[in-house]
Amino acid sequence: MLSIRKKISKIIFFCSLIALSLLLYEKYLLFEEKNTTPQKLVTNPVKLTDEERQWLDTHQPIRIAFDGSFPPYSFINESGEVEGISFDTLQLISQKLNIKFEIDKRTQWNQIYQAALDKEVDVIATMVKRPEREFQFLFTRPYVFKSLVIVTHDSNKQLKQRSQLSGKTVALIKGYQYSENILKEFPSITPFYVDTMHDALEAVETQQVDAAISYFAATYYIQNKYLLSHIKVVAFYDRNSANESIAIRKDKPVLAGIFQKALESISESEVQVINSKWYPPIRKPIDYETIRDIVSVFVVILIILVIWIGQIKYQSRKLKITKNELLLSNQELNTLKDNLEVKVDQRTEQLKQSEQKYRSLVENLRDEYFFYKHDLEGVFTYLSPSFSSVFGYDVEYGMKNFSSFLSDHKDNKRVSEYTNLAKKGETPPAYEIEVIDQNGERHRLE
């Protein structure tokens, strides 16, 4: 029992340790700062084939388009120029490949998408890979990672997690697919449509809405640029929900391979340099729902362990009761056995004494009676000494040859029949036989 308790204690300890580790890891992810001092810059070369290098030499400049209203990923600054995470990444690729980009003047998403379909641009710098888009574009691996967050006014103390959006008024950006997905998931939301993320956050700042769904880095950038001091990020809505890749027209597969190699050549230190410029140096929101899920799993495990421990204790009690009952029964059986042995010994002694008395009585009869016994096979096992005084034969001889002493009298013909009845356990009727003694004289016996 002590061993079982030790095992259970170990299981509870390890489960607690796992849960604590998960919570600490979650806390680390939530409070990780993006403006960590970048490590020493490492630059990796791009290894192109001769065919790829020749293709680049004959197809420059590469026509590329940026979404101009998507800070800090790509946007138009006050000087009318493109900047942002995507722009810095493509500039780095341009340096690595030693190629020239021709930036298209169109910056509205619908316009640049149509321009790519019309083959007026070769590359769109940021695009979410979706099945319907794969008919027209080839995609690199994602390089811009975006998470949707819930933004509220800093006076709002009630809305702390995703599930609490039901029934709220929420600012959503027109034409963005994630806005449509939010309404599908929470049909009870009252949508407050705006044109840009800045407008959405402004609606929260002025308390026109309960919340806005925005991208984390975009929220930070707009909050600091426009001094929105009364908004806060309260929770993640969806992590990495719309990561962006470089989209290349499908009729340019060689260029798609070149961009993929270029992205793979970008080192972690180079990524850190770009990210530190644009990502927020503030802590991320606490993801209460993730923590709740982790705690729920731990609670379920704990409940299962408690039930298991209860079952073990219940079974132990039953085993203890059964063991006591078996011990008691065993004691009773031993007592009965001892009593039975005593009674058997007593009865055996009584039978022995009775037989001795009976034999003594029979053996003292001389002329009128004799006593015999035989087994179920008809073999004599005892013949009293009085047999010799009556018939003159020796007892041993008489036991072996008794049937030869019978005369030819008709009464002797039924001896075998009566003997068989006795061997079967039945009582034969009284009968008489005639026996010839050692001197040839006939004797009638009952």
Burial of 53 (0-12, 13-18, 19+ CB in 10 A): middle
Each residue's pLDDT tens digit, 208-241: 999 999 888 888 888 888 899 999 999 988 887 7
Q: Is 183 helix (H, G, I), strand (E, B) or coil?
A: helix
Contact indicator for 204, 212 with CB cutoff of 8 Å:
yes
pLDDT value of position 328: 83
pLDDT value of position 42: 55
Contact indicator for 68, 75 with CB cutoff of 8 Å:
yes
pLDDT at residue 39 is higher than 80:
no
pLDDT at residue 38 is higher than 70:
no
Contact indicator for 71, 222 with CB cutoff of 8 Å:
yes
pLDDT value of position 37: 41
| CA dihedral for 250, 252, 258, 263, sign (positive or negative) | negative
CA distance 440 to 170: 138
pLDDT value of position 106: 94
In terms of pTM, does the model score above 0.75?
no
pLDDT at residue 30 is higher than 60:
no
pLDDT at residue 35 is higher than 50:
no
pLDDT at residue 73 is higher than 50:
yes
pLDDT value of position 18: 64
Average pLDDT of span 390-397: 84
Structure tokens at 364: 């003292």
Average pLDDT of span 268-275: 89
Burial 65-78 (b: 16+ CB within 10 A, else e): bbbbbbbbbbbbee
Which carries the bigger pLDDT value, residue 426 or residue 121?
A: 121
Which carries the bigger pLDDT value, residue 264 or residue 242?
A: 264
Least confident segment among 255-269, 290-304, 387-401: 290-304
Residue ranges of alpha helices (H) inside 32-73 are 50-58
pLDDT value of position 189: 93
Contact indicator for 388, 372 with CB cutoff of 8 Å:
no
Of all residues in the chain, the percent with pLDDT exceeding 70 is: 83
Least confident segment among 62-66, 161-165, 293-297, 340-344: 293-297
Contact indicator for 141, 249 with CB cutoff of 8 Å:
no
pLDDT value of position 176: 78
pLDDT value of position 282: 46
pLDDT value of position 62: 95
Each residue's pLDDT tens digit, 343-383: 777 787 777 777 776 666 666 655 567 778 888 877 888 88
Question: Phi, psi at residue 408, to the nearest 5°?
Answer: -90, 20
Contact indicator for 392, 438 with CB cutoff of 8 Å:
yes
DSSP 47: -
pLDDT at residue 25 is higher than 80:
no
CA distance 139 to 144: 13
Of all residues in the chain, the percent with pLDDT exceeding 90 is: 33
Average pLDDT of span 393-418: 83
Contact indicator for 186, 161 with CB cutoff of 8 Å:
no
pLDDT at residue 3 is higher than 60:
no
Mean of the per-residue pLDDT values of the chain: 82
Query: How far apart, in Å, are the Cα atoms of 42 and each of 13, 63, 77, 90?
Result: 43, 28, 29, 17
Which carries the bigger pLDDT value, residue 359 or residue 397?
A: 397
Query: How far apart, in Å, are the Cα atoms of 87 and each of 75, 103, 257?
Result: 9, 10, 20
Contact indicator for 233, 151 with CB cutoff of 8 Å:
yes
Query: How far apart, in Å, are the Cα atoms of 171 and each of 77, 179, 213, 239, 266?
Result: 24, 9, 7, 19, 36
Each residue's pLDDT tens digit, 176-202: 778 888 999 999 999 999 988 889 999
pLDDT at residue 89 is higher than 80:
yes
Each residue's pLDDT tens digit, 288-337: 555 666 667 767 777 777 787 777 877 888 888 888 888 888 888 888 87
Q: What is the CA radius of gyration of the chain?
A: 54
Which carries the bigger pLDDT value, residue 366 or residue 105?
A: 105
